[in-house]
Structure 1
Amino acid sequence: MAEQTTKRCHWVPKAYLKAFASDEKRKKIWRLSNTAGDPELKPIEKVAVSFNLYVPLDPETKKRDDSFERKLGELEQWFSEPIWKLFQTEMIDLGDESIRKLVALLVATMMLRNPRYFEMCKSIHEGIRGMILAAGEIPTSVESKGVIRSVNPASWPSYRDATEEDLKRNWIDSINNATRYATMLMEMRWSVVFSDEPVFITTDAPVTFLHPSHKFRGIKDAETMVAFPISPTRLLYMDRLFHEPGNQYYRLNGDGSKHNLHLWRNALEYMFTHRQPDDVRASMNAEAERQEYAAT
């Protein structure tokens, strides 16, 4: 019997979401959309999932290749390891190099594997394609969003006519380079905000970038901060505030609404939480009103 090809691809790993589950069996989670609809108690199996997301169609065999999806599955096993479970509840050594490597790779991979970055890759491709078509000739290089990319005239036809599946394979190649971004994260200052009570949410885009300009300026920008919820009681921050002590744990001041609001604003669409989302939303709305009042 032929081996079955994986079709259901979770861009937020199920093993990660179990920490935010609402039931003792860790199978269900509260979900709330930022567009419309009421809160839903959903099986974790059915959230942040898409068919064939990491399973491109092979142009020669006309079959889908799920080797990368299986590779991601192997990496996701770390969310079930004892060290990650300790990270969810205890104060582990944030300066331990082996821990930093593991966490940085998981965070970098979750950032790149998100559908948001596939859309970004497609947008960049279409922008470059449009510029070359408008110019009427093939240049030796093009600039897109401040990045100069060389152009090989021989590869232009395949670039011009790239299909969705072609672009998906290119995106998967970029995810395979997650170690590059993991290295950048390791070089940042790490700290964790912790709470005695479970208060933090996560989303369908858990890796959150914060910047005073409210725009993404890149990981290397001196003012960029990265937030990543580890569990309902642990929220990891990475920044370049090297004048402050690193590898510290800071007790939460307040009810967590300020932190949750940052995470919620970064979501593709959904909030995931262990508690009734209406309560979370109410506290975040109150926090947003306080911020608007303070800004006036």
Structure 2
Amino acid sequence: MRAVVVRSFGGPEALEVAEVALPGVGAGQVRVRVAAAGVNPVDALTRAGVLARAGLMAVREVTGIGWDVAGVVDAVGDKVTGFEPGQRVVGLRDRLDVDLGAYAQFAVLDAGALAPAPAGVDFARAATLPLNGLTAWQALDLLDLPAGASVLVTGAAGAVGGFAVELAALRGLRVVAVAGAGDEALVRSLGAEWFVPRTVPDVAAAVRELVPGGVDGALDAALLGVTALGAVRGRGVFVAVAGGSEPVGLRGIRVANVWVSADGAALERLSAPAQEGRLTLRLAGTLALERAGQAHERLAGGGLRGRLVLVP
């Protein structure tokens, strides 16, 4: 089968389409015929060697690329229940230290990392859900705010931020969204009650004008760090979506970082609002597997609203 791998860290040209053996299926595992694989910033960081240099993964002879999977069950291993060949599924491959990732014709995942795909949703759009949807979901779990509380979401027009705004609103939270000036209509349509352009001189001051005393919590998808911390009230809560971007918890603020993990049960709970249209799956475009390098170049260029998806 064909798969995209990295043998030597570097730019988009380091992505190699190789012929590799069809992966076997072990106990508790499911092999998926990949119909679509999302392209995410973590893929570019893996490819460039940033995560290896940070000590988050070991250097390998061959590194697989890609986390998001949407496709059809091809085979199931022993002790697998709830999945059968031919079933449409979505899943998250959350390990960095593997030879094969989601950029491939077939991918093997633990059964607990999979969920039924949203009914009536094409594979390309379904592939935009796992990584970014679960990151937003797990970040909101860490915030643990009650309905009616206020939450700041930075990077609200991005893939994680957009899901965070919608999911926060679905949980009954009042959302202050920070995004580009041209994205106000978008983030309000996703459920934001208030909007702050990211270009304001002082984000914290602008937020506090809208929510006197500061918001109860912040989900920092734009990695603003201490700049966003000032918008949170004393003894509030702050969750960052990338390691190393979290600020010191001044004023008694509880600070956490979300390290996303595969969770089939949570992914199934995300699939329901996605298929009902209450969770927006934003697709920036599709490319053939062989054009993975081009997809990474477009990702690096910025400005995407939604995710690019590779279609094997």
Same fold, judged at TM 0.5 (above): no
Greater strand percent: which structure? 2
Normalization by structure 2: what TM-score?
0.28
Normalization by structure 1: what TM-score?
0.29
Greater helix percent: which structure? 1
Asked which structure has the greater RCO (Cα within 8 Å, sep 6+), the reply is: 1
Higher Cα radius of gyration: 1
